[in-house]
Amino acid sequence: MAERVEENYPNFNPEQKEAFDKVMESANNNRGKLFFLLSAGGGGKTHISNTIAAAICSQGKVALCVASSAIAALLRDGGRTAHSRFKIPIPINETSTCNIAKGDHMHGVLKETKLIIWDEVPMQHRYGPEAVNRTIQDLLNNKDDVNEKDRLFGGITILFVGDFRQTLPVVPRGSRAQIVDASLRRSTLWQHVEVLHLKQNMRLDQTPESITFAQWLLKVGAGSDLNPEKTIPLPNNMRLPQNNVQGLIDAIYPDIHQLNREDKFFLERTILSATNDKVDNLNQVRSS
């Protein structure tokens, strides 16, 4: 793990190095700070947070990696869902606590934990992190010590990771106001969070064209620069000569009817669709 850190750190950009240094300083000195690593897709959130976890573990300390979804948990070294790791109750309310008792195995793990990394936290109802905080405070804080009894998450450094432009908490039949109210940003914890930004898209080549495209993606995610009809105008280089389904298929799958196509041809191409009936319609056009 130490080798991974030594290999990755020199290749970090300045924003990534700053985030790494701040989180490590808090964890190594038991400062118990709360951070939120904010970045759009491609900013390197997973890469840097896994490197931070490796750095903690290489010192013989414990870093717990959790995520709000099982798919995101697979991207974490030793990752599990937050509900599985912390036994977050379902259903949950504003006074809930997790099902971890003093003397449990998990209680012992938490005593040794220096860092908790929580990925995709924007999609988690704020009651989840609040319940985890409430539980760990009860398990770890020394109530006889004035300086210890109110430490958030029992003094464990927390690194939340995610992007509020992506999936927010699911509130059944909830209004926009109710969904926003369920967000971590409406939690009492948020006032203690330091936001760390990763603005450079690491998946794209740093050419003028790629940088312009990355900036356009951020504007789309933020819902800015909309036209009067509140729609998103596509740049000219992203528009098809023929504005129809057949034109889209021809652009993505040129000469698709040619026989004996290699698998690579299809692996490198896809048309995303929101619903299954749209997929069926596209397949009908392709087969005709």
Do 154 and 278 lie in one domain? The reply is: no
Query: Which of 138 and 286 is assigned the larger pLDDT?
Result: 138
Q: Is residue 97 part of a domain?
A: yes
What's the total number of domains in the chain? 2
Domain contains 230? no
Domain ranges, residue 81: 2-198
With cut-offs at 50, 70 and 90, classify the pLDDT of residue 44.
Answer: confident
pTM, two decimal places: 0.77
Determine the average pLDDT of the residues in 225-254: 83
Per-residue pLDDT at 254? 87
Q: Are residues 188 and 81 in the same domain?
A: yes
The three state secondary structure string of the chain is CHHHHHHHHHHCCHHHHHHHHHHHHHHHCCCCCEEEEEECCCCCHHHHHHHHHHHHHHCCCEEEEEECCHHHHCCCCCCEEHHHHHCCCCCCCCCCCCCCCCCCHHHHHHHHEEEEEEECHHHCCCHHHHHHHHHHHHHHCCCCCCCCCCCHHHHCEEEEEECCCCCCCCCCCCCHHHHHHCCHHHCCCHHHEEEEEECCCCCCCCCHHHHHHHHHHHHHHHCCCCCCCCCCCCCHHHCCCCCCHHHHHHHHCCCCCCCCCCHHHHHCCCCCCCCHHHHHHHHHHHHC
220 domain residue, yes or no:
no
- Flag whether 235 is in a domain: no
pLDDT grade, residue 146 (50/70/90)? low
Is 169 in the same domain as 92?
A: yes
Where residue 159 sits, what CATH number does that domain have?
A: 3.40.50.300
More confident residue, 35 or 39: 35
Assess if residue 151 is contained within a domain.
yes
Q: What is the pLDDT of residue 261?
A: 83
Average pLDDT over the chain, rounded to whole? 87
Domain boundary among the residues 166, 198, 230 is at 198
